[in-house]
Amino acid sequence: MVNEATLEARIRSELKNLFPLLEPTEFSHQLTFKIKLGHKSIKIDSATSSASGRLDILISYKNKAICVLELKNSDVKLTDDDRDQGISYARLLNPMPPFVVVTNGKESLFYKTVDKQKWQTSNIDEQKIQDIISHGATMADSNLDEAVRFLLGKDDDVWKKIIEDVTREQIELLYGDVKDYDKPITRDFSIQREITHRIENDLINGQNKLVLNGPPLSGKTNVFVQLCSSMNDKSMLYLYLNMANIGYGPLQFLCNRFSRDLFLKKTADDIRGWLIHSLRSPSDCKVVLIIDNLYGITEGAILQEINELVDISSKSNMAIILGITDSGLTMLKSHPGRTYSTVIGGLKPYHLGHLSDSEFWKVNELFQQTFSTIFEKGSEYSLLYRLPQTLRIIASRFNEKETLSEDRIRLIESVPSFGLLKTVWEQTNSNIKLQSDMLQYARTLLEMDCDVNKPLLELFKHGWAGIALAKAEKNLGATRCQSLQDEGYLKILRIESDVLLMPTCPELVSGAAIEIITERMQQDSIDNIQEIYDYLISKSNILPYGELVGVAALLNYSSIAPDGFSNILNKLYDDMPKIKRPSSGRFETYFPETGRIQIDDKKMEGWLYENITPWLILSHLASMELIDLEGSRNFHLNILARIGSCKHVLHKPRPVPLYDMLPISVHEIDNEGEILCHKVGIVEPIVSAMKNCFFLMPKEMIELCEHSQKTHNIFLANRLTQAAENLTMSVDSDVANAAKQALDLVFPIAKQIHKN
């Protein structure tokens, strides 16, 4: 680049030599100007950049544009490319300059803009300029097409601008209010995913063929938006296409888009040729084509176009990333009935699931900075809090809340409530088909009988909500099962000789199950409370988040049968967990990503839990105010005392892959029980209920602490200590004082456990 003064002097000198008959003071020049490509304006800026030693300058005389001057270095030979570049610019300016001059200071060539012919003249005066301006007004549209095609192939700024605009417009369609759950992206709340940086680094290091796979609602689109937000990085140019909004192949979409924006008739062959020609050329910019929401496409023209684009990416300066569900990738990565991979099977996979530990704690920081809110210690053990859509629901609740003073902060309870699960389900209200499919799937799951001859199938029915494929196809129909796989809500799991369908969003199955269980409990044909109770517990047992389902269904039932609700509360109270040491024998379990695991009884430590669901349901109910007809809270206190005195940890881990399991530290108590280490935080629903009860009935909670002290109940004292510890700084003075008083009563007892 030459300095500004030298450049100005060079331009004045060239104008004097080129136009000796024209008044020098009437000339002006622009190093920066805009050309019009259809609806698009492209900025040509020779003031900040130069290509191949050439500057593009717009020359005006008496305020009328007369030519585009291609100014080259004196040691650079003039070429047809220089002519074509200048003529292409001139044809796309409005008004159109009549001619183009290409010069290196030693040689100068004049060309007519209208027909690219050399203009042989040595005496350019105003009349000649006027004549050629008039002649140029009749230029054919075909010449405009030629100008655009040339620039698309030769000028990076032109097609980069088009790509940036396509990406920007496609992404803008994704944005909505934080409460508009039909829109995957919101400006008010965004979770930064670690996988974004991994993909960026691999792109920089030369990886050109990638696929981002994960279940629906896992945040794949969010990752792509985060990638595209780095468009200021000039080494990457992202072209984002959302197949959910397009409906046909990506090449055809680009053809239509170029035709619309540039007023040109472009074919798929044009776009294909442009991609191959332009992207194979050496460049300091890699085009990254992102094709998102690629599901339900197993054959046909769209898949052929994608396969072709993958092939182009291996031979050009282009990378391709596909966004697809786990089940979709499984179907596309291999040929049916064959063992070898497809083109898509050769892409490097990046799996996106629920939040990792580090991602969760970064979200915690985000909540603190944005909403003056943090997650209570122990929240990291809840799978619901690791799901992006759940976190957005929580964020939407705080979005319009008042701003807290700097010395105040909100706490999100570490044990999720049944209300959160219901809200997750309600967000599917706008998707009638999905709700219908999930209801039918949940109904099939709940109607299945126990198969003692298939222990592994029973294992995956409980907690995982898996159904044998043959059973699912019989009840739901093969078409519905395939549709749910195409959409990513179900996936195939092969366990030795058995084939299962597994939900990838088990929270939706559980949300649907609330409606089904409620409906069954409210049927007139069930008039036996014991039958209702047995149905509630048996079905809650097998479901993911089963205790939350049980609470929600039971509260729904209470609205039409308050007496029945009271009777069921008593049954929950009496239905104690069955917990024992492992007996002799061999224990076996199975993890999808790991396989069968066998444990010899001699190596087995801890306790075996059975029938824990009733007390988990009752623990959640104890978070609410339970008053009898006489206004007494005695039964409520009895629930807290009875469950709080349990000698074992009342927490049901969620079924997750073995490598994602978080260990929970416990302390053994004289071989008769165990308690949670306080460093774990609050993970037991009964402790969360106790904490809430300090707000509902602080005086009664002091009575419960006095009872624990009097009976020296170490298990109850330990849980009350956990509940009260975080409340001493409460802004509610009654609660803070009650918590301090409670600790004075129970902490000396709890402290003895931790010393031992």
Task: Supply the DSSP symbol for 430.
Answer: T
pLDDT digits (tens, 9 = 90+) for 632-691: 888 999 999 999 999 989 998 877 666 666 778 888 887 778 888 888 999 999 999 999
Residue 574, pLDDT > 90, answer yes
Average pLDDT estimate for 46-65? 69
Give the per-residue pLDDT at 557.
Answer: 93
Position 123 confidence tier, pLDDT thresholds 50, 70, 90:
low
User: Hey, which residues does 522 pair with through a beta bridge?
Assistant: none
The helix or strand, by DSSP H or E, that contains position 447, with its residue range, turns out to be: helix 432-447
**Mean pLDDT (whole number) for 574-581:** 85
pLDDT at 58: 84
pLDDT per residue as tens digits for the range 336-363: 655 567 888 889 999 999 999 999 999 9
- How far is it between the farthest Cα atoms of the chain? 115
Question: What integer best gives the mean pLDDT of the chain?
Answer: 82
Question: What span, in angstroms and rounded, lies between the C-alpha atoms of 212 and 294?
Answer: 11
In Å, how far are 9, 60, 99, 121, 129 from 24, measured between CA atoms?
A: 13, 11, 18, 19, 15
Taking residues 175-192, report their average pLDDT.
Answer: 89
pLDDT at residue 52 tops 50: no
pLDDT of 534 over the 90 cut: yes
Question: What does the pLDDT read at residue 139?
Answer: 43
Q: What is the pLDDT of residue 53?
A: 53
Higher confidence at residue 604 or residue 490?
490
Residue 619, pLDDT above cutoff 60: yes
Token pair for residue 483?
A: 């549709």
Is the peptide bond preceding residue 685 cis, with omega within 30 degrees of 0?
no
According to the model, what pLDDT value does residue 263 have?
A: 53
The b/e string for 518-533 (b: 16+ C-beta within 10 A; e otherwise) is bebbbeeeeeebeebb
Calculate the alpha carbon distances from 150 to 88, 102, 144 in Å: 7, 17, 10
pLDDT number for residue 199: 95
Q: Strand, helix or coil at 503?
A: strand
> Which one is predicted more confidently, 229 or 269?
229
> Do 275 and 318 meet the contact criterion of CB atoms below 8 Å apart?
yes
Residue 463 in this model has a pLDDT that exceeds 50: yes
**What sign has the CA pseudo-torsion 416, 661, 330, 212?**
positive
Give the closest residue to 107 by CA, choosing from 129, 76, 85, 61. 76
Run of H or E residues at 516: helix 506-521
**What is the structure's pLDDT at 198?**
95
Kindly give, in sequence order, each residue whose CB lies less than 8 Å from that of residue 754, ignoring residues fewer than 6 positions away: 667, 678
Query: What is the token pair recorded at 72?
Result: 């080259």
Task: Provide the pLDDT for residue 309.
Answer: 85
Residues 415-424: tens digit of each pLDDT: 999 999 999 9
| Mean per-residue pLDDT, 429-439 | 92
End-to-end CA distance of the chain: 77
Q: Which residue has the tokens 């040109």?
A: 264
Q: Other CB atoms closer than 10 Å to residue 515's CB: what's the count? A: 19
For residues 101 and 137, which has the higher predicted lDDT (pLDDT)? 101
Mean pLDDT of 75-83: 84
* Res 702 pLDDT > 90: yes
Q: Give the pLDDT of residue 152.
A: 52
Q: What is the mean pLDDT of residues 474-488?
A: 91
Q: What is the pLDDT of residue 136?
A: 45
**pLDDT > 60? residue 279:** no
Residue 596's pLDDT band (boundaries 50, 70, 90)? low
d(CA 226, CA 72): 41
As to burial, measured by CB atoms within 10 angstroms (0-12 exposed, 13-18 middle, 19+ buried), residue 614 is: buried
Q: What b/e string do you get for 38-56 counting C-beta neighbours within 10 Å, with b at 16 or more?
A: beeebebebeeebeeebbb
- pLDDT on residue 182: 87
Over residues 502-513, mean pLDDT: 94
pLDDT at 420: 93
Residue 389, pLDDT > 70, answer yes
Query: What is the C-alpha to C-alpha distance for residues 96 and 87, in angstroms, rounded to an integer?
Result: 10
* pLDDT surpasses 90 at 6: no
How far is the C-alpha of 251 from the C-alpha of 209, rounded, in Å? 17
Q: List, for residues 211-247, the tens digit of each pLDDT value.
A: 999 999 999 999 999 999 865 566 788 999 998 888 7
**221 three-state secondary structure:** helix
Which tokens sit at 597?
């695991």
- pLDDT grade for 550, boundaries at 50, 70 and 90: very high
The whole-number average pLDDT for the span 105-115 is 81
pLDDT at 712 over 80: yes
Helix (H, G, I), strand (E, B) or coil at 532: helix
Contacts of 372 (CB under 8 A, 6+ apart): 403, 404, 408, 409, 410
Angle at 283 between CA 260 and CA 276, to 5 degrees: 55
pLDDT for 291-328, tens place per residue?
Answer: 999 876 766 778 888 888 888 777 777 899 999 998 88
Give the pLDDT score at 262: 60
Res 141: pLDDT: 43
- Asked if 747 contacts 719 with a C-beta cutoff of 8 angstroms, the reply is no
Residue for token pair 């001057």: 69
Local confidence band at 404 (pLDDT 50, 70, 90 cut-offs): low
Confidence at residue 622, expressed as pLDDT on a 0 to 100 scale = 94
φ, ψ at 14 (rounded to 5°): -65, -40
Residue 252 reports pLDDT greater than 50: yes
> What average pLDDT does range 579-590 have in this prediction?
68
Output the 3-class SS for 246-309.
Answer: CCCCHHHHHHHHHHHHHCCCCCHHHHHHHHHHHHHCCCCCEEEEEEECCCCCCCCHHHHHHHHH
Amino acid at 623: S
pLDDT, position 140: 42
CA distance 707 to 724: 16
At residue 83, does pLDDT exceed 90? no
- Please name the residues in contact with 268: beta carbons below 8 A apart, sequence gap of 6 or more: 251, 252, 255, 305
Q: Say if residues 28 and 22 touch (Cβ distance below 8 Å).
A: no
Between CA 549 and CA 569 the distance in angstroms is: 15
Please give the angle made by the CA atoms of 431, 349 and 291, to the nearest 5 degrees.
Answer: 50
CA 675/CA 753 separation, integer angstroms? 9
**pLDDT over threshold 70, residue 39:** no
Q: Is the pLDDT of residue 726 over 60?
A: yes
Res 495: pLDDT = 80
Residues 6+ apart with CB under 8 A from 212: 195, 199, 220, 223, 224, 321, 322, 323, 324, 350, 352
Considering only residues 725 and 146, tell me which one the structure prediction assigns the higher pLDDT.
725
Task: Give me the percent of the chain exceeding a pLDDT of 70.
Answer: 79
Q: At residue 605, what are phi and psi to the nearest 5 degrees?
A: -115, 160
pLDDT value of position 714: 92
The pLDDT of 178-183, averaged and rounded, is: 88
Tokens of 314: 């291996």
Query: Which 3 state secondary structure label does DSSP give 108?
Result: strand
Q: Is 527 helix (H, G, I), strand (E, B) or coil?
A: coil
CA–CA dist 174, 184 (Å, integer)? 6
How far is Cα 294 from Cα 216, in angstroms, rounded to an integer?
12
Using the predicted structure, report yes or no on whether residue 598 has a pLDDT greater than 90: no
Measured CA to CA, the distance from residue 466 to residue 454 in angstroms comes to 13
Range with lowest mean pLDDT among 106-110, 285-289, 404-408, 651-655: 404-408
For 411, the token pair is 């706490």
